[in-house]
Structure formats: structure tokens, C-alpha cells
Structure 1
Amino acid sequence: MLNIFTVEMNYLAHLFLSEGTPESLIGNLLGDFVKGTAVNLYPEEIRKGIDLHRKVDSYTDSHAIVRSSKSLVSSQRRRFAGVLIDVFYDHFLAKNWLEYSEIPLRDFSQDVYKILQDNRDILPDSLQRVLPTIIARDLLSSYQEIAEIGITLTRMSARLKRTNNLASGIEDLTANYQRLESDFRDFFPDLIKYATVGKF
């Protein structure tokens, strides 16, 4: 995945797949923020969450359905295919949230924000800096809206140093919407089973 660790990254699926404890939620969020030996600074339960985040990423990247989704991304933006599909899948999870959870998305999001605020001191500086924006924008719930996905891609594009066309990736979502949603619906139960039953 491209090194775009910002408020705009996709975290909803990782948070959903955590075990629901504060430590697991934090760990699953930190997977993209904590590098190298820095993981050893955290308690065991948080480290487990970080490990699950990374294994979920590996499983997702190697899944045939996800590879099929990536093939739908325009050749002009193919280098961003992994980032785009991650964000698109979070959109479909947010849109269809109540098919997978008994807790309304807004309630789930508020619970996550409270846990992060309560544990702010142990979060990496980079995450502490963006946390107020995540909460103010209610980023997790906002992914239900296609317009928010467009805004997210534009902000991610601006974070890259080189000129790029990541922002126009919203065209790949709208042009292939039904196929991508179908791919997500086929893939996500596999991911839930992997994360829950534990194939690692």
C-alpha cells in the first residue's frame, strides 16, 4: 500500500474486525501508524490488534475477489488500485453496515472516538494530530456517502508529493459501482471468517 498515513485512510473494516475491547480497537487502528520495533512499546493486547490489522491486510491483498476489483481500476490509476479498493470497500461496509452489525454505525463510531480520546496519550503523535479532525468530521460514519469518498480521495491526493490522479479515482467507483459492491458482498464474509475463526 502507498505510504499515505493520514486522516483519510480506510479504517472502518479494521475497527469492525477487532475483538471489540478498547485494546483491540486501538491495536487495529495502529497497524498503519506503528512501524518496526515501536510495536514493542505497547501492551500485549494492543500488539495483538496491530498483528491482526497486518494479517487482514495481507489476506485482503491476496484474495482473488479483491484482485478482481483492482482490475476494474482504470489503467491510468492502476498504481493506486490497492488504496482505491480499500476505500471503496469501506464505503460499502458503511453503506450496508446493519447487515453486519446490530449496533448502528453512528453509535459504533462514537464509541470508537471515545476510546481513542480516553487513550490519547498512548497514541502515536501522528494519530494524535489527526484525531480531532477524524472526530469532527465523523469520518467513520461519513463513508456512507459517495461524495465523502470523493473528498477523501482528493485529500489523499494532496498529501502525495508528486502530481497524481488519485482524486479522479472516484470515477472508478461510480463507473463500476454495482460490480464493486457485489465483489465486496462476496468478499467480506470471507474476511470476517478469517478474522474471527483465525486462519493464522
Structure 2
Amino acid sequence: MNHLAHALLAGPDPDCRLGGMLGDFVRGAIDPALANGVGHGIALHRAIDTYTDTHAAIVDARALFEPPYRRYAGILIDIWFDHLLARDFDRWSAVPLQSFSDDLLALLDDRSPELPPALQRFSRYLHARDLPAAYAGREMIGEVLAGVGSRLTRSNPLAQGMVEISRLEAELAQVYAVFFPQLVGFAERWRTVHGIR
């Protein structure tokens, strides 16, 4: 899943939500010096990624993509599912999307000294594009895909990814409708087991 989903699935605890955002920017063992909730958030992020990558519906969805997009199907699905989540955000959160997004950006600002340089740069990128709220717009998804593609070292088709997503839009919507409620349940159970509210 992508950034909006990770932030939402981390729950309301600010430390856990910060850890959810850190998950893509830290590697290896979780630093024991981190606040407990931040470490839990990183661990939850990793658990969500594993759950998603191995879920039968996602495995089947990746197979729908034609070459050369199939190699990048995980990225395309993650970002498109954040779009679907943003469009339907009030189903999953009592906090409106724009307020949730603003609060997340404020959290990253407030805790900026704790962030690795890559996440500090990414926070500026989020601010400049009103993300994650702007994930609700299709045109932003095309821009985000092009940005991701430009940061990869090998040549890739991500800048044209909306062409393939549009071809598969109905099938991906069906997968999302089945998968995302199950992912929400998984994250809630994980937080309960680890004592995170």
C-alpha cells in the first residue's frame, strides 16, 4: 500500500503514524532507541507490506498487467489503491480527507528533526503537491507515477502507467473492494495485539 493507506492504517496514535510514514525510509533492524510507538509503526508498515504482497487477490491483480507494466504492477496497484482510498475516504475515517492530510503534514513538520533526510525531502514533496489529499484526483496519480518512474535507476514505463490502469480500472476496483476491508481488519488486529489504540 502507499502513503495514505499506511498513515490511516497506523491508527490515531501520532508515534505509530510517524512510524508508518518512516517504513519506506528505514531499512534493517528497527532502532531500539526510537519511541516505542514509532518502532511499532515501522513494524506495522512492514507487516502491511508483507500482507499485501502475499494476498491472493493482489497476486492475481499483478498478473492482470501486461508487459512492460507487469514488472511494476506492485507500484501501480499501491498508488492506484491510494487514489481509490482517497476518493472513498469518509467510509474509512471520521476525519475528512483534507483534515487528515493536513494533520499528517503537520506531524511530519513537528517531528522533522527525527526524520531521515530522504523523508524530510519527501515531506517537502508532499507539501508542494497537497498530498496525500490530492491522491483523490486522477491527474495527480499520473504525476505521482511519473515522479516515481523518474527516481528509478532503470528505464521504466511508469510515466504512462495510467494507460494500463485505465485498461484494468474495473478489475482493480473489484480487487480493492474485496481486499481493502480485509487489510483494515488485519491492521486493526495487529494494533490490538501490540497494544496500540
The TM-score, its normalising length taken from structure 1, stands at 0.91
User: In 2, distance between residues paired with 1:112 and 1:121?
Assistant: 16
The amino acid that maps onto 1:151 is: E
| Equivalent in the alignment of 1:184 | 176
User: In 2, distance between residues paired with 1:122 and 1:194?
Assistant: 28
| Equivalent in the alignment of 1:6 | none
Question: Is the aligned partner of 1:51 residue 2:43?
Answer: yes
Q: Following TM superposition, by how much is the alpha carbon of 1:122 offset from its aligned partner in structure 2, in angstroms?
A: 0.3
Asked if the contact 2:30/2:42 (under 8 Å) is kept, the reply is no
| Equivalent in the alignment of 1:117 | 109
The TM-score, its normalising length taken from structure 2, stands at 0.92
The amino acid that maps onto 2:168 is: N
Q: Following TM superposition, by how much is the alpha carbon of 1:130 offset from its aligned partner in structure 2, in angstroms?
A: 2.5
User: In 2, distance between residues paired with 1:128 and 1:41?
Assistant: 20
Indicate the RMSD between aligned Cα atoms, in angstroms.
1.6
Report how many aligned residue pairs link the two structures.
192
Q: Following TM superposition, by how much is the alpha carbon of 1:75 offset from its aligned partner in structure 2, in angstroms?
A: 2.1
Q: Following TM superposition, by how much is the alpha carbon of 1:47 offset from its aligned partner in structure 2, in angstroms?
A: 0.3
Asked if the contact 2:69/2:164 (under 8 Å) is kept, the reply is no
User: In 2, distance between residues paired with 1:87 and 1:20?
Assistant: 22
SS at match of 1:34: coil
The amino acid that maps onto 1:64 is: A
Question: Is the aligned partner of 1:146 residue 2:138?
Answer: yes
User: In 2, distance between residues paired with 1:39 and 1:77?
Assistant: 35
Question: Is the aligned partner of 1:95 residue 2:95?
Answer: no
User: In 2, distance between residues paired with 1:25 and 1:52?
Assistant: 10
Asked if the contact 1:72/1:172 (under 8 Å) is kept, the reply is no
Q: Deviations over 1:39-71 (max 9, x none)?
A: 334111100000000000000011111112212
| Equivalent in the alignment of 1:42 | 34
| Equivalent in the alignment of 1:5 | none
SS at match of 1:76: coil
Question: Is the aligned partner of 1:158 residue 2:150?
Answer: yes
Q: What fraction of aligned residue pairs are identical, expressed as a percent?
A: 37
Q: Following TM superposition, by how much is the alpha carbon of 1:38 offset from its aligned partner in structure 2, in angstroms?
A: 5.7
